[in-house]
Amino acid sequence: MTPLGVSRSSPYIASNVAQALEHFWLIDELQQVASRELSDWTGARAGTIVHCTGAAITLSIAAVMTGTDQQNIANLPDVTALPSKVILPAAHAINYGQSIQQAIRLAGAEPILAGSSHHCSICELEKHLQEPGTSCLLLVSSRLVAGNEIDFKAAVKAAHDAGLPTIIDGAAQDRRLADLLDTGTDLLLLSAQKYLSAPTAGIILGTQQLVDSVRANERGIGRAMKASKEAIFGVLAAIEERQTENLAIWQAEQAEKLARFIGQANEIPQLEAFSIPDMTGLPFSRACLTVTRSKTNVGAAGLVEALKMGTPGIRVMEHALREERIIFELVPLHETEIAVILERISEILVPK
């Protein structure tokens, strides 16, 4: 969803952002408030806000390597004399619009892939973690990760047994953050502009020492990765809203919206619709549509293209298009918008 502006913010978040823009603020003070609020929300010891999760990956790795040492920070991306190998399970070497390996290399570090693209055992991780010059373990929790799911708790323990810190990139997983923090990871990274619906920002949660080291790197390579005052205010408003939300009610609303969409889609004779759960365990499902080719000349790819070309342009998740499956993310949508989508679909799928 990043090319679509990712999410829409509530009027409450938007008004907080607008107010932030009209004043001067001491950024250090704002970041201290953010750290407290993030800690209250998540139970992590400390937190900070940076430009986005891409920045958070680079800065977390910088922080692990440099600590708060000014000379080390000034030297980056030169890492001579610093442990700089970052162990990453090969299946976690994702591309979210940028290859995560490049986000690692931007800090001067060297990504080392462990295991195969389908499997990485804890044994294989341990072997790499014990290599001299190793700095940390990076794990990714995302639907972009292919292959067998690694046991995060065991992976974090393996790193800690080797005396190394861990970072989890959980960008879109703010609704699973308790699970991810429960692994014992030293740092957890989240994108505030995804399901949290804040302005673009990266949230870094973790130990005070590493959060301080991230902030210290703002006087180094992090200069170009810092959070704006409006991003900080937007995140604070978004987590305030999230904390007042009733998850059970929210889930029921999402389930109801999805069931209605699927019911109505199944009334279109050229379609079959069903729900698929989020593969990472996020607390909602998505709608999957398949086109019945015996009943229309428009295939799945044709439908997706036609939806894009209409007004309003409608974008779907295209990762399963090769299997002729079209996935709809309904979480951010209102009923009236869903009605427009269904109307457009039935217009496009003319009977044979």
Ligand X SMILES: *Cc1c(COP(=O)(O)O)cnc(C)c1O
Answer for which of 82, 86, 169, 265 binds ligand X (CB under 6 A) is: 169
Interface stretch with ligand X, choices 46-54, 64-72, 213-221, 307-315 (CB under 6 A): 46-54
* Residue 191 or 264 with smaller CB distance to ligand X: 191
Strand partners, 95: 99
Cis upstream peptide for 77 (omega within 30°): yes
| Pairwise CA distance, residues 192 & 172, whole Å | 8
| Residue where the block lists tokens 């990714």 | 140
Does 234 contact ligand X by CB under 6 A? no
Q: How far is the CB of 197 from ligand X (least distance, A)?
A: 13
d(CA 309, CA 307): 6
Q: Tell me the CA distances in angstroms from 348 to 261, 266, 309, 313, 314, one per residue in order.
A: 17, 15, 11, 13, 12
The whole-angstrom separation of Cα 309 and Cα 239 is: 36
Residue 296, beta-bridge partner list: 351
- As measured in angstroms, the least distance from the Cβ of 77 to ligand X is 19
Say whether residue 235 binds ligand X (CB under 6 A): no
Q: How far apart are CA 212 and CA 189, in angstroms?
A: 15
Site string for ligand X, 242-281 (x = CB under 6 A): ----------------------------------------
140 touches ligand X (CB under 6 A):
yes
Rounded to the nearest whole angstrom, what is the least distance from the CB of residue 263 to ligand X in the complex?
A: 30
- Rounded Cα distance between 97 and 52, Å, is 13
Q: What residues numbered 52-81 form the site for ligand X, per CB under 6 A?
A: 52-54
Q: How far is the CB of 309 from ligand X (least distance, A)?
A: 26
| Cβ closest to ligand X, residue 156 vs residue 300 | 156
Element (H, E) at 89: strand 85-89
Residue 171 interacts with ligand X (CB under 6 A): yes or no? yes
Helix (H/G/I), strand (E/B), else coil: 285: strand
Could you give the string, one character per residue 76-105, with x where binding to ligand X holds by CB under 6 A and - elsewhere? ------------------x-x---------
Q: Applying CB under 6 A, does 142 fall inside the site for ligand X?
A: yes
Question: CA separation (Å) from 333 to 114, 179, 267, 285, 339?
Answer: 39, 26, 20, 14, 10
Residue 145 C-beta: closest distance to ligand X, Å = 8
- Which range, of 140-148, 180-188, 250-258, 326-334, touches ligand X by CB under 6 A? 140-148
**Please, what is the minimum distance in Å from the beta carbon of residue 100 to ligand X?**
7
Are the CB atoms for 166 and 181 separated by under 8 Å?
no
Contact between 202 and ligand X by CB under 6 A: the answer reads yes
Residues engaged in binding ligand X (CB under 6 A) = 2, 52-54, 94, 96, 140, 142, 144, 169, 171-172, 191, 202
